[in-house]
Structure 1
């Protein structure tokens, strides 16, 4: 859950901050640094500034490589040349300020550098100074104080936000040379502390990282190196996971294949048994048809007269020449699947009776 102060400040910024466009009215006295963030605020939007006539005008310079608020087809103002700086208002480029001149917060680039700026400038990319000059307490100074000398310190409290809510982050700066820090209590330049030494602020450590335990920790920008055994364990885990996955899939698919194979075998056994039954039925039918009659078949005694007395033979109307009442046709094309028998009745004379 966001802190109430952050929600209040966000709503206030959405309603009042930077809403005036070019040519609209503004008040220069409203220009200020926001509480907690110290970001410059004015009545005008991000591409205009509040001019002396009380209206918003287009900015005349910029200090950022990629300024905020400009679209693709909008002209971006130029950056200032050597010996000049662009103020927070971004109205026009101004000449660098001499030592002792008033400057804006954290605008070390507004101050003129010392003659030996090459020796004094910050090369650590930590923002300790700009070409050997520093703006402390809104005053231009040179960062040339050595160990044991009296120094100037500036403590700025910023509002920071974390998972547990908001907290105060104090940034302390001084005018000591690189490698020294200005002690807030004694106001003297002291040598930065090594790794593991006791500390109370980040500026006291050469790594600029004072841990919550009160000791100097490693630089947060330094890449962390791990032992070879870590890479070995990670590699084993990766390849073990790959082979484990492949083995699991193989076993799962093999079980499915075995189940499908068992289904096919069962189906084949059922079809084979059915086929054997059909063959047995066909062989039985063939044997019964091809075997000679012994006079015991009811069908043969119904139509046959051989071996019977004349008084036991049935009376036939329109007696035809002696012959069988059924003609048997056997087809055998040497195929055990196509054997068949077709029985056709003999033609009878039409005696005009139903």
Structure 2
């Protein structure tokens, strides 16, 4: 999954709390007629829980039993917790359907696919030229039909809108519409009014959606902007100013430390000198007292 598909799946997971799967466990009775897509989250739902799928008991009958899923599409599938017995991933050239009923061969263009499952469609022969972050190896599942992302400039194109609804903590509904088309991305996009592929817009041009921009990022100001993942290039003068600021800060700190050290040494020197002078005064006083006592002793003698 790439680009818009990954974003669409992320919104589907956000709405899982309001789109719960069935509660029938392995071996329980179910009906394939109850298999459906949740209108808000577009998550696949059935009578069975997240680790099983509804297998019909006989041909032409919708009644069946919940059987363990035999494949998975995600590295860490929902509902298994830390179970060591995960179903296997499908090999190259096959896909696992939403219900997990088993790996199936990739679908040719025109065949029916499940919602937002570009990975169910077989890639075109020139997939390496058509592949981008807005499709899966050059293939798309638009309007539940496999197609190639190969519509060129001026050709008629297909626009597919899918709206995801999530309920916030206060009960308020939030919607997000994902729009995709089969034009050669990222250099073209499908114009909704003419249903023809036209060139994507450069930085600073007015836009209504991300898909209209070469960078696939329409800013809040309504113009094409650099995507958040775009590396930030620093100019040479910014390097010089930053280096000068660092050196100046280091020199300032060193000078402050030197001045502080000198002041501390001067204070220590004054304390030692005062102590020395006090000791000399005491010594002179003791010498004078001793001399006076000796002189008095001589007088008395």
Q: TM-score scaled by structure 1?
A: 0.64
The equivalent of 2:295 in structure 1 is: 287
The equivalent of 1:192 in structure 2 is: 200
User: Using the alignment, how far apart are the partners of 1:150 and 1:11 within structure 2?
Assistant: 34
The equivalent of 1:268 in structure 2 is: 276
Q: Is the contact made by 1:102 and 1:138 (CA closer than 8 Å) also made in structure 2?
A: yes
Matches within 5 A, 1:233-248: 233-248=241-256
The equivalent of 1:111 in structure 2 is: 121
Matches within 5 A, 1:1-354: 13=17, 17=20, 23=26, 29=34, 32-33=37-38, 35=40, 38-40=42-44, 48-52=51-55, 53-55=64-66, 58-67=68-77, 74-114=84-124, 116-118=125-127, 121-122=130-131, 124=132, 126-127=133-134, 129-158=135-164, 168-178=175-185, 179-289=187-297, 291=298, 293=299, 297=300
User: Using the alignment, how far apart are the partners of 1:180 and 1:279 within structure 2?
Assistant: 106
Provide the aligned length of Structure 1 versus Structure 2.
Answer: 275
Structure 1 SS opposite 2:140: strand
Gaps of 5+ in 2: 1-12, 56-63
CA separation of 1:23/1:227 partners in 2, compared to 1, >3 Å: closer, same or farther? Answer: same
Residue deviations 1:42-75 (CA, integer Å, cap 9, x gap): 67776x13433554x5442222345566677714
Q: Is the contact made by 1:60 and 1:92 (CA closer than 8 Å) also made in structure 2?
A: yes
User: Using the alignment, how far apart are the partners of 1:38 and 1:30 within structure 2?
Assistant: 12
Provide the alpha-carbon RMSD of the alignment: 3.8
Q: Is the contact made by 2:157 and 2:196 (CA closer than 8 Å) also made in structure 1?
A: yes
Q: Is the contact made by 1:120 and 1:177 (CA closer than 8 Å) also made in structure 2?
A: no
Q: CA deviation at 1:166?
A: 8.1
User: Using the alignment, how far apart are the partners of 1:136 and 1:112 within structure 2?
Assistant: 14
Q: CA deviation at 1:172?
A: 1.4
Q: CA deviation at 1:264?
A: 2.9
Q: CA deviation at 1:257?
A: 3.6
Residue deviations 1:183-239 (CA, integer Å, cap 9, x gap): 112212222233343332222222222334443334544322121111111112222
CA separation of 1:10/1:62 partners in 2, compared to 1, >3 Å: closer, same or farther? Answer: closer
Structure 2 SS opposite 1:51: strand
Structure 1 SS opposite 2:268: helix
Q: Is the contact made by 1:117 and 1:131 (CA closer than 8 Å) also made in structure 2?
A: no
Q: Is the contact made by 1:209 and 1:219 (CA closer than 8 Å) also made in structure 2?
A: yes
Q: TM-score scaled by structure 2?
A: 0.73
User: Using the alignment, how far apart are the partners of 2:102 and 2:176 within structure 1?
Assistant: 33
Q: Which has the higher helix share?
A: 2
User: Using the alignment, how far apart are the partners of 1:247 and 1:166 within structure 2?
Assistant: 61
Report which of the two structures shows the higher radius of gyration computed on alpha carbons. 1
Q: CA deviation at 1:88?
A: 2.2
